Amino acid sequence: MISQEEAETEETVTCLHMTFYHPCQEDKMMFRCLNFCKREQVRADEMAKFGRDSNICHYNLLDTRVSRIQFSLQFYRKLHSSESCFEIKNMSKKTKLIVDKTELGYLNKIDLPWKCIICFGDYQILAEIQEGEAMDYFETHLHLAQVPILQERCLPSPQPVPESGFSSSSMSSQDKNPIEIDENESC
């Protein structure tokens, strides 16, 4: 029997958590081929591909509006560093991929931020990287969101406050007509 002091240190694994949302997910069931709530291992030398073609993509989205290969993720280590990263590449000729606020055209790629939102068409994916030490593989952990990841917030634009210090909402209806005053005139 091996004592705890003699046992090998367990290596942590980098895990990419991805939470998916589509407004028609209950009707169209485009995520039915994804394995939610179960971690899956992906070899470090493989590219994780997401798209419609089940012969090419391990992560299959059942939707005719999705490209055969929509996007790919490549796991790598930074040069002279133990930091693990993912590179995301848009593989769709027809649909732009948006990573946070960066728009990627066909074959454009960037480093995936440690936490970001990936969008294409009506799809929204929250991606979060949990760092680990393993170099031979990483894990994916997929989740399904019940509400939109991006919430469109329509906030009223703030009304400018004139130099007098009174906002137009606090003035009577007679005072709402602007009066032009020369800067050099004193009141």
Cα–Cα distance for residue pair 107/90, rounded to 1 Å:
5
Query: pTM of the predicted model, to two decimals?
Result: 0.74
Q: In this predicted structure, what is the pLDDT of residue 184? A: 52
Cα–Cα distance for residue pair 127/17, rounded to 1 Å:
6
Q: In this predicted structure, what is the pLDDT of residue 161? A: 47
Q: Is the dihedral of CA 17, 22, 26, 31 positive or negative?
A: negative
3-state secondary structure of 170: helix
pLDDT tens-digit profile, the chain (187 residues) = 555 566 566 789 999 999 999 999 999 999 999 999 899 999 999 999 999 999 999 999 999 999 999 999 999 988 888 888 999 999 999 999 999 999 999 999 999 999 999 999 999 999 999 999 888 999 999 999 999 998 743 334 444 444 555 544 444 445 445 555 555 554 4
Q: Is the dihedral of CA 45, 50, 55, 58 positive or negative?
A: positive
Q: In this predicted structure, what is the pLDDT of residue 58? A: 94
Q: In this predicted structure, what is the pLDDT of residue 22? A: 97
Q: In this predicted structure, what is the pLDDT of residue 1? A: 57
In terms of Cα–Cα distance, which of 44, 30, 13, 27 is closest to 125?
30
Domains and CATH numbers, the chain: 15-144 (2.60.200.20)
